[in-house]
Amino acid sequence: MSVSASSITVDGKNVELPVKTGTIGPSVVDIGKLYGQTGAFTFDPGFTSTASCESAITYIDGDEGVLLYRGYPIEQLAEQGDFLETAYLMLFGELPTPAQKADFDYRVTRHTMVHDQMNRFFQGFRRDAHPMAIMVACVGALSAFYHDSTDISDENQRMIASLRMIAKMPTLAAMAYKYSIGQPFVYPKNDLDYTSNFLRMCFAVPCEEFQVNPTYARALDKIFILHADHEQNASTSTVRLAGSSGANPFACIAAGIACLWGPAHGGANEAALKMLMEIGTPDNVAKYVAKAKDKNDPFRLMGFGHRVYKNYDPRARIMQKTTHEVLKELNIKDDLLEVAIQLEKIALEDEYFIEKKLYPNIDFYSGITLKALGFPTSMFTVLFALARTTGWIAQWAEMIQDPAQKIGRPRQLYVGPAQRDYVNIGQRG
């Protein structure tokens, strides 16, 4: 990393600010001294030009549509690896040897059960509770069960908590799904791989043997890889901010799940499929594209646009390919795919979308595949959270070990009333 300098003058006060350069990507101007030497803050609502940390986990080039996990292109990881290999890469920084992979799979598998009293949690929810509400509650509640892995200053406890989070998310997600359809919970089986185990916990019933369809398992495992991490997105930044106060990892992940739920973020996959269902047929697409362009209409094309990608989201390209493969393999003709293809075609040829550099993002096609795999729309963001837990945990662990990290505490531009005296109620109005 090289450091040069820039300078800024605020109200006549000049200060030199170091410029830091990373391995690849934009440099940063270190403004740590700015307030102390000028009395002024920077102002960047939405953090459109602000780097919050140093990180070595994920790199995105939004203009070129590049996504690297620890330097490896997402296309290669998704096509050649499996999700737990990506999880290992996220946590440890290198691809595992065969022995390391076997050990990691073994350790994660043996943390997939949850404390049996977690079952009682579910009895408190209505059957029609949104599964993301259940996930926020249950993941936060894990800190009530695992007191032996909440001391974040202990490296061993941090690792056990990380393995528990990655291992138990599929179990809790499957329980949330089973509860919503009134079926009994299915326990994990240690002789199944991570994603097959999850599919069995979701779709098996006690009345008969269940064989996981390998096409389903491979497609879903690839989807998990695509969703594993994405630099300092809103939910990851939430996890980091929660973690900066010293909160335990289960509480931090629960905060991340809550943030991911929003339709501008992870909730977009559920919203995108509902949008395609509302559009209904390719003939209606033009009308909805016009709505999306109308400044007076709050409607947006869900699954389109991105804060960083000003080119095609590389994950959306893989997602589109996976959607075609799954539908073909399962011999499913989904009219919504025709709607999505027509919507993408019209939008990408439209001046509004070209000028604003709006392309399909990961959420545009994922819903069609998840629907084909048998999941209800209410479970789509839960699946996103399941996969992103790996990235959240890796980013949280990186932050805890960062010597520069301190509690996150932004400032503000105050626009409220200047100081004034209290007026007794008898003298008001």
User: Where along the sequence are the contacts to ligand SDX (CB under 6 A)?
Assistant: 46, 230, 233, 264-266, 268, 292, 300-308, 356, 358, 361-363
Q: How far is the CB of 292 from ligand SDX (least distance, A)?
A: 4
Report how far residue 137's alpha carbon sits from residue 120's, in angstroms, rounded to the nearest whole number: 12
Quick count: other Cβ atoms within 10 Å of Cβ 334?
17
Q: Which is nearer to ligand SDX, 38 or 52 (CB)?
A: 52
Q: How far is the CB of 108 from ligand SDX (least distance, A)?
A: 22
Q: How far is CA 352 from its chain centroid?
A: 28
Closest of 353, 379, 348 to residue 366, by C-alpha: 379
- Amino acid sitting at position 266: G
Q: Which is nearer to ligand SDX, 175 or 343 (CB)?
A: 343
Q: How far is the CB of 253 from ligand SDX (least distance, A)?
A: 15
CA dihedral 121, 125, 129, 131 (to 10 degrees): 10
Phi, psi of 253 (to 5 degrees): -65, -35
Q: In angstroms, what CA-CA distances link 333 with 203, 262, 292, 338, 392? A: 22, 30, 27, 9, 36
Q: Which is nearer to ligand SDX, 55 or 361 (CB)?
A: 361
Q: How far is the CB of 328 from ligand SDX (least distance, A)?
A: 26
Closest of 229, 266, 213 to residue 83, by C-alpha: 229
Sheet of 66-69, strands arranged across: 58-61, 66-69, 72-73
Q: Which is nearer to ligand SDX, 34 or 136 (CB)?
A: 136
Q: Which is nearer to ligand SDX, 20 or 293 (CB)?
A: 293
- DSSP letter string, 192-235: S-HHHHHHHHHH--TTS-----HHHHHHHHHHHHHTS--SS-HH
Q: Which is nearer to ligand SDX, 221 or 231 (CB)?
A: 231
Catalytic center residues: 306, 363
Closest residue to bound ligand SDX by CB: 305
Q: Which is nearer to ligand SDX, 122 or 304 (CB)?
A: 304
Report how far residue 390's alpha carbon sits from residue 383's, in angstroms, rounded to the nearest whole number: 12
Q: How far is the CB of 1 from ligand SDX (least distance, A)?
A: 24
Reading phi first (left if > 0) and then psi (alpha if -120 to 50, else beta), residue 85 is in: alpha
Q: How far is the CB of 356 from ligand SDX (least distance, A)?
A: 4
- The DSSP code for 17 is E
Closest of 203, 192, 176 to residue 82, by C-alpha: 192
- The DSSP code for 299 is -
Kind plus residue range of the DSSP H or E element containing 18: strand 13-20
Q: How far is the CB of 341 from ligand SDX (least distance, A)?
A: 17
